[in-house]
Structure 1
Amino acid sequence: MINIRKSRYSILFGFIAYFIFFSFIIRTILFIASAQHTDFSIFEVIKCYLAGLFFDLGTALIITSFYALYLLIIPNRLYQKKWNQGLTIAAFLLFVLITLFSFFAEITFWQEFESRFNFIAVDYLIYTYEVIHNINESYPLPYLISGILLIAFAVTYIFFQLKIFKLNFESETLPKNRLIISCSLIIAAISFSVFIKNSSAENGNNRYANELSKAGIYSFFAAFKNNELNYHEFYKLIDTKKAFAIVRNQLNQKDVTFRNGSTILRDIKGKNSSYRPNVILITVESLSAEFLAHYGNTEQLTPRLDSIANHSIFFSDMYATGTRTVRGMEALSLSIPPTPGSSIVRRTNNENLFTTGHVFKTKGYTNTFFYGGDGYFDNMNHFFGTNGYNIVDRGRKLLNETYSGSRTLITDQQVTFENAWGICDEDIFNVALKDADEKYKQHQLFNDFIMTTSNHRPYTFPANKIKLPSGTRAGAVRYTDYAIGKFVDELKAKPYYANTVVIIVADHCASSAGKNEIDISKYQIPCMILNLRNQPKMNISKMTSQIDMFPTLWSLLGWNYSSEFYGQNVLDDTYKPRVFLGTYQKLAYLKGDSLLLLSPHKKVDTYLYNKTKNEQKPFSLPKRLVDEGIANYQTAFDLFKEGKLRL
């Protein structure tokens, strides 16, 4: 029989006991606070504490799992050394401090959101500067830090008084016993993290009881993994049937036939044209509209893009849906408004969705995603690879990769310049051209999604290409423009150019990530469609969204297709200009000069927007328009969450 108190595991189990005890205190504090807002049945009270104990124990096992591994492998002769004793006590104190801080953070987070940690808490990590200043203004930070330190030292002192450290370091636990204990703890921790979902606690109608059943730290990492906020818990709702009726009415353009069911699935009838050009979509990193002369820039940063815009179908008043690359990818591939949390590209259960690539596939196209960096970043490879795209990226092979398409790695021989973010734009365009050459030889139509990287920090690019210096935003914009112009010139010399359409659009604006308030001017992006057969140049000055680009293109091509997209053909006479804008938390709906802003706490703010002055003034909008904005975001969340966007 192993005497845990006199073994090298006494500190580990002591920490677990400390964690469960303080978790119990925090849960009780939150329970008392919640009792002011709701009634708890006896069953719900029991559930809060029993399920809570289960989640607390699982969380404690995960926190201590690496220490359990350390205790397994370090021999007794080293374990009893002074350096190990000092290291262990310091690590113990550090983890007590971290968990105490998380306990305090749980209380403050609950005061504001009446919830365990969710994606809002994850979001706060992005705004560290603002959050620290907010805490400093809301609480006496020196006293708070001093209090946490005092409690941490008190816990450590109690461990000394109980002789837990002394007995621990004097022990000589046998390897056999270490193997049994450590392996049991590690297996339990892994099993908990793999098989126990945070949502398992949400099995009742009392939201407070569900939240109290969870553990704060485990909820935080579950939110980080799932990348979403539950729209129904934190945002204003309307009746579900009414919401879908509003959206379907909004999408009911000419030659549209809706199918039955609570979805937006519909059949769109075009001219039944046989015109099927190759499509190359260049999604340009951080290309704000303000960089182009068309929008008043006088620095001559984008001469080639400005020239292309003059000879293309130019969307001169288009807006991105978000402030991150993956949000732009979501808009262009799923044609959906942004939902709370991170992009669907980064979420779980995002395979086999109804994508724009699916429409191309039904027309006989091969879809390929090109990225000059490692597509493992931001889950890009998984998203595109499990939604019918072949992948070409500058990454590394990973075990257990399962994509519906193929994956090709960009070789060193194909790279002339590379920084930490990826290969230069010229290189990724060269790779795409070679791939197009092969597709043409095989008589294969292709739809390419190319994601550029050169206009991303650190803004470095090959020497002797342009006159502006490397390492600056202006230089990166000018180089990106140069690379796109060179690509178009080379493409024009190809035999398949006559049957190839090029689309150039930004993923989001520059210097926009990290802005939690909706600054509409930071969402305006350029978009242009080049080389569309028998189509004269056109300036589409209507306000449009990223999500409208492909539906408008398919209308110009005259295609019949099925759609589960929120994007519309903006050239249709019935189109009423509106755009969707979002951060991680805030969702905006802009229609004309009417602006609706949705926030957690089910908060709804309405404004009039003056584009010329970039001003938002509070104004009471009609309920009809407020319901319209809510309906789009609510149904978009529901369709994805309920799996109704799957093929």
Structure 2
Amino acid sequence: MKKLFKGRFALYFAFLTFFIIFSFTVRTLLFISACHHTDFTLFEIVKIFGIGLFFDIGTGLIIALPYALFLLFVSDKLYRKKWNKIFTPIILFIFIVITLFSFFAELTFWQEFESRFNFIAVDYLIYTYEVIHNINESYPIPLLLAAILIIAFVITYGLYKLKIFSQTFESASTKKSRSVPSITLIVFAVAFIIFVKNSWAEQGNNHYTNELSKAGTYSFFAAFKNNELNYQDFYSQVDDKMAFEIIRNQLKESNSSFINSGKSIKRIISSKNKAYKPNVITITIESLSADFLAHYGNTQHLTPFLDSSANQSVFFSNMYATGTRTVRGMEALTLCIPPTPGSSIVRRMDNEHLFTVGHVFKNQGYTNTFFYGGDGYFDNMNHFFGNNGYNIVDRGRKLLNETYDGSRTMIQDKDVTFENAWGICDEDIFNVVVKDADEKYKHHQLFNNFIMTTSNHRPYTFPANKINLAQGTREAAVRYTDYAIEKFIEKIKNKPWFENTVIVIVADHCASSAGKNEIDISKYQIPCMILNLKNTANTNINKMTSQIDVFPTLWGFIGWNYTNDFFGKNVLDSNYKPRVVLGTYQKLAYMQNDSLVILSPQRKIESYLYDKSKNEQRKANFSKEFTNKAIANYQTAYELFKNGGLKE
């Protein structure tokens, strides 16, 4: 065995050792970072580094698999040729550079998402333009690349000084002598790929422990492989008929009547309020956690305008986002549906011609428009909105063969004063919206505008001399976004169409979703307010509500009769029972009052009592009836989407 480590396989095991040491270093750095957010038991620490070592070894074996095949099949004579003495060190150097870069990427990804690589990292490979520019504006890339190259050179040179290269190239080996170790290493690597699941690291309730136990590279490929989760294959179910009976009973309102029986939630809403048709502008704010507002205890004075507006509006002070990404927020606000496992419906196949919020507005004579300061190609936003009844106005590139049911207008350079990797600043997109609204008013056209902001996103840059905080931090970006919204409202107050225009302000998701618990409820709370409603007193709705309830509640205020095919409800209806639906890519949560049920793959069901004052979740046992209600929400949502039940 000693001869093996000094023979042809010396370089193979040297690389494996390097990979394990650096993986351990990254895990340690992430562990130290996580210690600021949670306490770890001794058992959890052993798990983090024990299971982590297992995943690191397996990942290293997979990365080195091509070299193991090379060592097996290349003859001794060919292996000792001069060309190989040049080729192998170069390839090794490249692999070390790539590995070091992936380690750096893990640290930055954790900084943003407090998670190992997941579906988001896979998405970022597709949208390279935005991501590369974002990274370039957020970090000193030339210096980091130089540091990576220097470290890679030092490691490679160190192996040379340790005579690893001479040992591997000068040692003699027969096909028989190298077959056993090569085949053993290959078998272990292939077995790891086939049999080891990333979910093996997700055995406890502490999010940080689970994520730290993983290997980033392996997590990336696991996410790539499992892009969509079939609810019926992985989650607990009840009888389909029972599921729809439960959900129809839950959705029943005092002024509703179902149109169809069976597997349908379509119903007619008949309002008792006097109807009117205001223009609607929805400002969806990037990553605006509730705890940025003074209303929720923040003392940094980051959102003075939003805080004052909350007191002069219909304010949903206890609202929760359905997910942790922008496309989840868009899904909730346009489809009013619980999050189904895997990617958001915005990013799924066959997501055209769905029954959306825009569909309701269109039936009332409105023009729907989606405004985005970046390129709407990102995250499939243009395809989703453009094929679901919305026109598109974005700062994008013209793509070949793109077709939408609606029109697409690209924001011109003359309308841009500031732009970063993620798009034009919030002031600029608001100015575009004002111009568009002026034009529609001139032609007596009612409008429903959905705006997605970008300034509160890394790299957190915006026009200079607007606020008194330095650029580059989340807090500064939040302050600038508040400033931009204030200027927007001031500007439109003088417009002839303002008197008949309702403003909805809501976050897409929170700035961070990670916490000690796998699903940390407090990290989903967002602000939401409706401004300028006619004949409506300022109201603080402190019932627990979800993003999916925003528009059904708005339509209740303005007295509309309409067809409803949504899971969202008018939260002021007498039959409304406070509940929220939210989740990650795999975990799905249903909470009613303080009772929380979390559904996971492998048909796992967990039940907790949630103490909001302490932000604590403790194990509990609920009735089967309550657990079935949680299952029914997600089972029926998945069933309706996959089988076309959400189509117009």
2:348 matches 1:434: no
Matched, 1:269 2:270: yes
Match of 2:70, as an amino acid? T
- Aligned pair 1:371/2:397, yes or no? no
What SS does the aligned partner of 1:339 have? coil
1:324 touches 1:513 (CA, 8 Å); kept in 2? no
Aligned counterpart, 1:328: 329
Q: Is the 8 A contact 2:590 2:598 kept in 1?
A: yes
Equivalent residue number for residue 51 of structure 2: 137
Structure 1 residue 474 displacement after superposition: 1.2
Aligned counterpart for 1:155 among listed residues 45, 61, 69: 69
Report how far residue 469 of structure 1 moved: 1.1
Q: What residue is the counterpart of 2:620 in the other structure?
A: 619
Cα distance change of structure 1 residues 627 and 151 upon mapping to structure 2, 3 Å threshold: closer
Q: Distance in 2 between matches of 1:142 and 1:379?
A: 34
Q: Contact between 2:330 and 2:346, CA under 8 Å: does it hold in 1?
A: yes
Whether 1:233 aligns to 2:233 is: yes
Q: Secondary structure at the match of 1:562?
A: strand
Alpha-carbon shift at residue 473 of structure 1 (Å): 1.2
Gaps (5+ residues) in structure 1?
Answer: 1-92, 102-129, 170-211
1:485-508 CA deviation, whole Å, 9 max, x = no partner?
110111110000010000000000
Q: Does 1:446 align with 2:360?
A: no
Contact 1:243 1:635 in 2 (8 A): yes
Q: Give SS of 1:306's match.
A: helix
* 1:606 CA drift (Å): 0.4
Q: Judging changes above 3 Å, is the alpha-carbon distance between structure 1 residues 225 and 329 closer, same or farther for their aligned structure 2 residues?
A: farther
Residues 321-360 of structure 1 correspond to what in structure 2 (within 5 A)? 321-360=322-361
Query: What is the CA RMSD across the aligned residues, in angstroms?
Result: 3.3
What is the one-letter code of the residue matched to 2:75? Answer: Q
Query: Post-superposition shift, 1:302?
Result: 0.7
Is the partner of 2:74 in helix, strand or coil?
helix
User: Alpha-carbon deviation of 1:157?
Assistant: 3.6
Equivalents in 2 of 1:530, 1:362: separation in Å?
A: 23
Contact 2:515 2:523 survives alignment (8 Å): no
How far apart, in 2, do the equivalents of 1:492 and 1:513 lie? 39
State how far apart, in whole Å, the 2-side matches of 1:553 and 1:145 are. 51
Task: Tell me the distance in 2 between the aligned counterparts of 1:149 and 1:377.
Answer: 30
2:64 and 2:225 map into 1 onto residues whose CA distance is: 33
Give the corresponding residue for 2:242: 242
SS of residue paired to 1:580: strand
CA positional deviation for 1:539: 0.7
Structure 2 vs 1, CA of residues 147 and 429 (structure 1 numbering), >3 Å: closer, same or farther?
Answer: closer
Q: What is the SS of the residue equivalent to 1:588?
A: strand
Identify the residue that residue 252 of structure 1 maps to in structure 2. Answer: 252
Q: What displacement does 1:152 show?
A: 4.1
Higher mean alpha-carbon deviation, 550-559 vs 264-273, is at 264-273
**Deviation of 1:621 (Å):** 1.1
Q: 2:401 is matched with which residue?
A: 400
Q: Does the CA contact (< 8 Å) of 1:225 and 1:347 recur in 2?
A: no
2:497 alignment counterpart: 496
Q: CA deviation at 1:529?
A: 0.4
Verify the 8 A CA contact 1:331 1:546 in the aligned structure 2: yes
Percent of counterpart pairs with the same letter? 67
Counterpart secondary structure, 2:268: strand
C-alpha distance in structure 2 between counterparts of 1:224 and 1:334, whole Å: 26
Find the counterpart in structure 2 of residue 314 from structure 1: 315
SS at match of 1:629: helix
**Paired amino acid for 1:247:** I
Q: Give the Cα separation in 2 of the matches to 1:343 and 1:516.
A: 22
Which residue of 1 is the match for residue 134 of structure 2?
A: none
Amino acid at match of 1:506: A
- Given the superposition, is the C-alpha separation of residues 138 and 275 from structure 1 closer, same or farther in structure 2, using an over 3 Å criterion? same
User: Per-residue CA shift, 1:539-583, capped at 9, x if unaligned?
Assistant: 111110000010000011111111110000100111100001101
Deviations 1:491-543 (A, max 9, x none): 11000001000000000011227998111110111100000111111111111
How many residues align structurally?
A: 481
- The superposition leaves residues 215-238 of structure 1 with CA deviations (integer Å, 9 ceiling, x where unpaired) of x9xxx9998599421111111111
Instruction: Name the stretch that deviates more: 226-235 or 398-407.
Output: 226-235
The answer on whether the counterparts of 2:545 and 2:580 sit within 8 Å (CA) in structure 1 is yes
Correspondence 1:497-516 to 2 at 5 A: 497-512=498-513
Match of 1:278 in 2: 279
SS in 1 for 2:638: helix
Residue of structure 2 in register with 1:54 after alignment: none
| Alpha-carbon shift at residue 159 of structure 1 (Å) | 3.4
How big is each residue's C-alpha offset from its partner over 1:71-121, in whole Å with a ceiling of 9 and x where there is no partner? xxxxxxxxxxxxxxxxxxxxxx9xxx9xxx9xxxxxxxxxxxxxxxxxxxx
**SS at the partner of 1:329?**
helix
- Return the offset for 1:368: 0.3
Distance 1:639 1:146, change over 3 A: closer
Match of 1:530 in 2: 531
Distance 1:224 1:356, change over 3 A: farther
Q: Tell me how far apart the structure 1 counterparts of residues 64 and 226 of structure 2 sit (CA, whole Å).
A: 35
Offset, 1:421: 1.0
1:390-432: CA deviations, max 9, x gaps?
Answer: 0000110000111000001011110101111111100000000
Moved more, 494-503 or 504-513: 504-513
Counterpart Cα distance in 2 of 1:516 and 1:613: 13
> What is the Cα deviation at residue 623 of structure 1?
1.3
Residue 332 of structure 2 contacts residue 547 of structure 2 at CA under 8 Å; is this kept in 1? yes
Change (3 A) 1:227 1:533: farther
Matches within 5 A, 1:466-615: 466-512=467-513, 517-615=518-616
Q: Secondary structure at the match of 1:283?
A: strand
**Matches of residues 81-230 of structure 1 in structure 2 within 5 Å?**
137=51, 139-140=53-54, 144=58, 152-161=66-75, 224=224, 227-230=227-230
Q: CA distance change for structure 1 residues 505 and 239 in 2, over 3 Å: closer, same or farther? A: same
Separation of aligned partners in 1, 2:350 and 2:530: 32
CA contact (8 A) 1:270 1:558 kept: yes
SS in 1 for 2:419: coil
Correspondence for 2:41: none
Write the distance in 1 (CA, Å) between the matches of 2:457 and 2:320. 20
Alignment partners' CA distance in 1, 2:68 and 2:225:
34
Q: Aligned-pair distance for 1:145?
A: 6.5
What code does the residue aligned with 1:570 have? V
The residue aligned with 2:382 is 381
* TM value normalised by structure 2: 0.69
Residue identity opposite 2:577 in structure 1: K
The residue identity in structure 2 corresponding to 1:238 is V
Q: With the length of structure 1 as denominator, give the TM-score of the two structures.
A: 0.69
Say if 1:226 and 1:234 are closer, same or farther in 2 by CA, change over 3 A.
closer
Q: Secondary structure at the match of 1:574?
A: coil
Cα distance change of structure 1 residues 464 and 252 upon mapping to structure 2, 3 Å threshold: same
Report if the CA contact (8 A) 1:515-1:583 is conserved: no
* SS of residue in 2 equivalent to 1:581: strand
Distance 1:221 1:582 in 2: 22
* Matched residue, 2:300: 299
SS in structure 1 of the partner of residue 423 of structure 2: coil
Alpha-carbon displacement from aligned partner over 1:367-409 (angstroms, at most 9, x marks no partner)? 0000001111111011001101000001100001110000010
User: How many Å separate the matches in 2 of 1:496 and 1:354?
Assistant: 28
Kindly provide the amino acid, as one letter, of the partner of residue 252 in structure 1: K
Residues 422-456 of structure 1 show CA distances to partners (whole Å, capped at 9, x for unaligned) of 11100000000000000000100000000001111
